[in-house]
Chain A
Amino acid sequence: MDAELMEIRQHMSQFSPFDVLCDALLDEVAGQIEVRYFKAGNDILLLNAEAREFCYIRSGAVEVYRRQGELYNRLGEGDIFGHFNLLRDHKVRFPAKALEDTLIYFISDAVFQYLCEQDEHFADFVELERPRLETIAEEQMRSNDMMVTRIRRLLSRPPVTVSVETSVQDAALQMSKDQASALLVVRPCAPDAPRCFHDVDGETRQVCGIITNSDFRTRIVAKGLSAQTPVGEVVSPTLITAQSDLSIYEAMLTMLRNNVQHLPVLYRQRPMGLVHLSDIIRYETHSGLYLVSNIFSRLSVEGLARLVPDVRAAFVRMVQEGANSQMVGSALSTIGRSFTHRLLELAESALGPPPVPYAFMVNGSMARNEQSIVTDQDNALVLDDSFNPELHDGYFQRLATFVSDGLDACGYTYCKGDIMATNVRWRQPLRVWKGYFRGWMSEPTPETLLHSSIFFDLDSAYGDAAMVGQLQDLIAEQAPRSPLFLAAMARNALNRTPPLGFFRTFVMESDGKQNNLINLKRRGTAPMVDVIRVHALACGSKAQNTFERLDDIHQTPLLTSGVSDKLRYAFEYLCLSRLRHQAIDIEKDRAPNNNIEPENVEGSERHALKDAFQALSNAQKFLKFRYPLPGSQAGRR
C-alpha cells in the first residue's frame, strides 16, 4: 500500500484514450485530476465560459450541446468531453449538463497539452473529426495482411525429412510418396550444435540442408551422379531459413533476396515446415481469385451454390486480416459478377445462343464494386435495338429467370423492389432504356428518382458491354445539365439520416431518442453513397465506385478542398465497420445482416463512428444548399 489513489488511475486505465497511455503518463494524469460532483440537471460547462480543463466522466451521464442549444452528444462513464474547447480559443463552445448525478474528473489544459505532445495516440484521439478517422483508416491500411500475418500461417504440415545417408533415389521416392517438392536433410549431431532439435523419436538431429525438385536436375542428373549417391553429398551447403514469427512479407523478401523458392520455417531450432513461393502467391490471391476460378469450373447451379460457404470464409478472412473496404468490396463484387457470368454461360448452354445481342446489366452495389456479404440482386437486360418482343422476349425471359433463380440460390436474394431482369420493364432494348433515362432526368418524379438511385449505378456483367457504356455516357452528358434532376436527387439523398452517436447500449438519435440497434447500411453507407452520387452526377463522372467518384469530384470545385477526403475516410470507416460486424456474425454462426448492436461497439470504434456520422450529416446539410431547386429562394440567393 502506498500513497497512490488507485481508484482514479484504475478507472481511467480502462477507457479510451487513457487505456493505451504508458504507465508513467497515466500516473501523471491520474495524479493531477480534480473532482466534482454534479447533481442531475446542473450545468458542468457553461457556454462562453473560459475553458481551462476537459472532463472525464467517472460515473453518471452528461449531455453536450451545440451553441444553438441543439443536442450534440450524450455521454456516459469513461467518456471525455470539453477537449474541443481547448483545441480552439479556450472558450466553451459545447456546453455540458449533467443528465444523471455525475462525478467528473477535470483534467487541466496544461496536462492536456502535455499529453498531446507526449502521446501520439492521445493527440489523434482528441483531434477534430477528420484527422481521427484519417488516422484509423490509414492505420488499417498499414496493418494489411502480408505485413502482419506470420509465415507460420502458411504451414500445412511438418516437413518431410530424410537422413544424410539416404540415397537420392530413395529420397526421390519419398518425395513422390509425400507429394513434396522439397525435403529437409537431417543428420545426428551433438546437443549443442547449431540448428539442432529433437525429432519425434527424441533423437538429436540437425538440419543440414534442403533438397528440392530442381536439385535433382541440376545437382544430380546434369552431373551424371549415381542414383545411389547419399543426399548428404548433394545438398547445398548454405541453408536459408526463416523463424516462424517472420511476417509473410518478410519471408517473401528473404526468398527473393536469396533466390530460393523453398523456405524451411523454424520455431527456434525446430523445423516446422516448408514454405514454397507459390504458397505465398496463393495466399495473397486466395481470397478472391481462387474462388473465381472455382466458380468458372462449376457445371450447375447446385455446384455454384455449394461455393457459398467458401465465399463467406474468404470474406471473413479478408476482414480479419485488415483488408480495407475497397479490397473487400471489389473482391466480393468480382465474385458476384463471376457467379452472374457463369450463370449466364450455363443459361445460354441450356437455352441456346441468344436471338439478338444483349448486355446483362448489374446495378447497385455490384456495379459500384462495393458489395458486402449481405446483398440482394439488382439487374436488368439491355437488348439490341433489333429486339422484337414477340419473337425474342420468350428467350430473354427464360434467361433472366434462370439467372435470377441461380443468383438467389447462391445467396444473392431476389430484389424486393423487383429491380431484376425478370421484370419486363427492365428487359428492354437500348433505345427504350435511353428513353427511360432521359425522361427520369428531365422530369423527375418520386418513383423515377428511386429508379435513378438504383439504375444510375450501372455496369455490364456479361454480353455486349458497349450498350451499357452508351447508357453511362448518356447519364454523364445529361445529368450535369439537369438542375431540377440534381436538386431532386439531392433532396432524395436526405431521406435517410445518420444517428447522433452512441450512449451506453443505445444508439442516440438527434432528437434524444434511443434505439438498441442501428442499420449501418440504411443509416450510414447508403446515404453516403447517395450524397456522393449526386455530386458525381453533377460533375459528369462516369465512375461507378464511390471512391472513384470522389476522385472525380475532387478534380472539380464542387466541394471545398479537404471535404472529399473527409467523406472518403468517413465512408471507408462506415463500410469497414459494417463488414467487420458481418464477419463477427458469420464467425458466431449468426446470419450476417447490416445491423450493429451498440453493446458490441468498442470505445474507439464508437468515437470513430460518431465522427463518420457527423461527416455524413454535414455532407447532407451541404447538399441541400449546393443543389437548390431551380427558381426556389435558395436558388436566387
Chain B
Amino acid sequence: MLDIRPRQKIIRADWAAYMRDRAASAQPAAVRQFFATPPPAPDTPIAEVPMVALDMETTGLDERRHAIVSLGIVPFTLERITPAKRRYWMVKPSRSLSASSIAYHHITHSEIAGAPDFDAVIDELLAAIAGKIVVVHFRNIERPFLDAAVRVRRGEGVLFPMIDTMSLEARLYRQSLWARFRRWLGRPPVSIRLNASRARYGLPAYQGHHALTDALATAELLQAQMATHYHPETPLSALWC
C-alpha cells in the first residue's frame, strides 16, 4: 500500500473556542446543530469521554479528486465498545470508482449504484457523532474528506477535534527518543498502520478494509493504548488534535 506518514507538526488548536464560534455562526441547520452539541470539555478525564470510532473508505487519498464510498461508526468508552450501536452507510461517490479502489475495498459498481448521494447521510452522520469525540486511525483522511464533502453539499465544512490512534502510535514509535535512536542506527521505522499497531498490544488481526471492521479495530486499539500507556485521568486535551 501507500507509505503514509503522519504530519510531524501537530497543531494544538483551541478546539473549544472554535466549536463555540461555529455554533454561533454556522448557517446550514445540520452543521449548526452539530456544533451546538459540543464534545466534552478539554479537561475531561479520558475515562469519562463518550467516543465514537469512525472509519471511511474512499476512492483515493486526495479529497479534491476522490470521494467517500462508505462510512462506519462504532460508539464506545474506555469501559465498553458497543458494536450493537454501530451505523454504516454506503454512498454513491460523485466521482467514478477506479478499478484499483474496487480491488481494494471490494465494493463494486452494482453495490454503489443503489446507494444515495452523501448528502442524504449528512444529517444522520452528524447527529450520530455530535457530542462525542471521534476516534480515527490517521485523521488526514477522515478530517479533510468529511470537511470537503459537507462543504460541497451544504456550503460550510465541518472541522472538529479527533483522537488519532495512529498519531498516538507515532508519538511512541516515531517521535520518542527511542525512535530517534533507532533511526540514528539506521533501523527501519516501526510500522504504525492499524494492524501492525494492534499486534503490538496483542490484538487480533482483522481482515481489513470494511469501514465497520476498521472502526471497531480502531476503538479496540484506543482502549489498548490507554490501558498500556495512559492513565484513565488523562485529560482529553492531551489526546485530541
On A, residues with C-beta under 8 Å from B are 1-8, 31-39, 42, 58-60, 100-103, 106
- Chain A residues contacting B55 (CB-CB under 8 Å) are none
Would you give the shortest CB distance from A5 to chain B, in whole angstroms?
5
Distance A2 CA – B72 CA, assembled complex (angstroms) = 11
Of residues 97 through 131 on chain B, the ones whose CB sits less than 8 Å from some CB of chain A are 106-107, 111
Contact yes or no, B107 A35, CB < 8 A: no
Would you give the shortest CB distance from B74 to chain A, in whole angstroms?
8
Contact yes or no, B83 A31, CB < 8 A: yes
- Chain B residues contacting A32 (CB-CB under 8 Å) are 84
CB within 8 A of B213: which of A7, A33, A35?
A7
Contact yes or no, B224 A1, CB < 8 A: no
Distance A440 CA – B206 CA, assembled complex (angstroms) = 65
Interface centre among A32, A33, A35, A60 (most CB of B within 10 A): A35
- Assess whether B31 is interfacial by the CB under 8 Å rule: no
- Chain A residues contacting B82 (CB-CB under 8 Å) are 34
CB within 8 A of B216: which of A5, A31, A106?
A5
Distance A38 CA – B202 CA, assembled complex (angstroms) = 10
Distance A8 CA – B217 CA, assembled complex (angstroms) = 11
Contact yes or no, A35 B219, CB < 8 A: yes
Contact yes or no, A103 B220, CB < 8 A: yes
CB within 8 A of A37: which of B72, B106, B201, B210?
B201
Would you give the shortest CB distance from B81 to chain A, in whole angstroms?
4
- Chain A residues contacting B80 (CB-CB under 8 Å) are 34-36, 106
Q: With A35-B216, A37-B224, A101-B224 in contact, is A5–B204 under 8 Å at CB?
A: no
Would you give the shortest CB distance from B103 to chain A, in whole angstroms?
14
Contact yes or no, B83 A101, CB < 8 A: no
Contact yes or no, A37 B203, CB < 8 A: yes
- Assess whether B212 is interfacial by the CB under 8 Å rule: yes
Which 9 pairs between the two chains have the least Cβ-Cβ distance?
A: A101-B202, A3-B88, A35-B81, A37-B223, A39-B227, A59-B204, A34-B80, A37-B224, A32-B84
Would you give the shortest CB distance from A98 to chain B, in whole angstroms?
10
Distance A34 CA – B216 CA, assembled complex (angstroms) = 11
Contact yes or no, A5 B213, CB < 8 A: yes
Contact yes or no, A5 B212, CB < 8 A: yes
- Chain B residues contacting A42 (CB-CB under 8 Å) are 227
Contact yes or no, A34 B202, CB < 8 A: no
Annotate B65-82 by CB proximity to A: 1 below 8 A, 0 otherwise.
000001010001001111
- Chain B residues contacting A106 (CB-CB under 8 Å) are 80
Distance A6 CA – B210 CA, assembled complex (angstroms) = 10
Contact yes or no, B224 A7, CB < 8 A: no
Would you give the shortest CB distance from A545 to chain B, in whole angstroms?
49
Contact yes or no, B83 A5, CB < 8 A: yes
Q: With A38-B227, A100-B202, A103-B220 in contact, is A8–B83 under 8 Å at CB?
A: yes
- Assess whether B228 is interfacial by the CB under 8 Å rule: yes
- Assess whether B8 is interfacial by the CB under 8 Å rule: no
Q: With A1-B107, A6-B213, A59-B202 in contact, is A34–B83 under 8 Å at CB?
A: yes
Interface centre among A4, A6, A7, A100 (most CB of B within 10 A): A7
18 new A-B pairs (CB below 8 Å) besides A31-B84, A101-B201, A103-B203? A1-B210, A2-B88, A3-B86, A5-B86, A6-B210, A6-B213, A32-B84, A34-B82, A34-B83, A35-B80, A36-B80, A36-B81, A36-B223, A38-B227, A39-B227, A39-B228, A60-B202, A103-B220
Q: Which residue of B is nearest A61, CB measured?
A: B202
How many B residues touch A, CB cutoff 8 Å?
32
- Chain B residues contacting A8 (CB-CB under 8 Å) are 83, 216
Distance A31 CA – B216 CA, assembled complex (angstroms) = 13
Distance A8 CA – B216 CA, assembled complex (angstroms) = 10
- Chain B residues contacting A35 (CB-CB under 8 Å) are 76, 80-81, 83, 216, 219-220
Contact yes or no, A34 B204, CB < 8 A: no
- 12 A-B residue pairs with Cβ-Cβ distance under 8 Å, sorted by A, are A2-B88, A3-B86, A8-B216, A31-B84, A34-B82, A35-B219, A37-B203, A37-B223, A38-B227, A59-B204, A60-B202, A101-B224
- Chain A residues contacting B96 (CB-CB under 8 Å) are none
Would you give the shortest CB distance from A415 to chain B, in whole angstroms?
51
- Chain A residues contacting B228 (CB-CB under 8 Å) are 39
Q: Which residue of A is nearest B223, CB measured?
A: A37
- Chain B residues contacting A37 (CB-CB under 8 Å) are 201, 203, 220, 223-224, 227
Contact yes or no, B106 A1, CB < 8 A: yes
CB within 8 A of B207: which of A4, A7, A34, A103?
A7
- Chain A residues contacting B107 (CB-CB under 8 Å) are 1
- Chain A residues contacting B202 (CB-CB under 8 Å) are 59-60, 100-103
Contact yes or no, A58 B83, CB < 8 A: no
Would you give the shortest CB distance from B115 to chain A, in whole angstroms?
11
Distance A7 CA – B219 CA, assembled complex (angstroms) = 14
Distance A8 CA – B111 CA, assembled complex (angstroms) = 23
Contact yes or no, B81 A34, CB < 8 A: yes
Would you give the shortest CB distance from A110 to chain B, in whole angstroms?
12
Q: Which residue of B is nearest A31, CB measured?
A: B84
Would you give the shortest CB distance from A43 to chain B, in whole angstroms?
12
Would you give the shortest CB distance from A109 to chain B, in whole angstroms?
15
Q: Which residue of A is nearest B200, CB measured?
A: A101
Contact yes or no, B203 A59, CB < 8 A: yes
Q: Which residue of A is nearest B222, CB measured?
A: A37
Contact yes or no, A1 B111, CB < 8 A: yes
Distance A102 CA – B202 CA, assembled complex (angstroms) = 7
Distance A4 CA – B207 CA, assembled complex (angstroms) = 14
- Chain A residues contacting B224 (CB-CB under 8 Å) are 37, 39, 101
Of residues 199 through 241 on chain B, the ones whose CB sits less than 8 Å from some CB of chain A are 201-204, 206-207, 210, 212-213, 216, 219-220, 223-224, 227-228
- Chain B residues contacting A103 (CB-CB under 8 Å) are 202-204, 220
Would you give the shortest CB distance from A42 to chain B, in whole angstroms?
7
CB within 8 A of B83: which of A1, A33, A39?
A33
Contact yes or no, B84 A34, CB < 8 A: yes
Would you give the shortest CB distance from B96 to chain A, in whole angstroms?
19
Would you give the shortest CB distance from A543 to chain B, in whole angstroms?
53
- Chain A residues contacting B216 (CB-CB under 8 Å) are 5, 7-8, 35
Distance A3 CA – B79 CA, assembled complex (angstroms) = 24
- Chain B residues contacting A100 (CB-CB under 8 Å) are 202
Distance A106 CA – B202 CA, assembled complex (angstroms) = 18
Distance A510 CA – B115 CA, assembled complex (angstroms) = 58
Would you give the shortest CB distance from A3 to chain B, in whole angstroms?
4
- Chain A residues contacting B88 (CB-CB under 8 Å) are 2-3
Q: Which residue of A is nearest B202, CB measured?
A: A101
- Chain B residues contacting A58 (CB-CB under 8 Å) are 204
Would you give the shortest CB distance from B8 to chain A, in whole angstroms?
28
Distance A102 CA – B107 CA, assembled complex (angstroms) = 32
Would you give the shortest CB distance from B210 to chain A, in whole angstroms?
6
Would you give the shortest CB distance from A283 to chain B, in whole angstroms?
49
Would you give the shortest CB distance from A504 to chain B, in whole angstroms?
15
Would you give the shortest CB distance from A99 to chain B, in whole angstroms?
11
- Chain A residues contacting B210 (CB-CB under 8 Å) are 1, 6
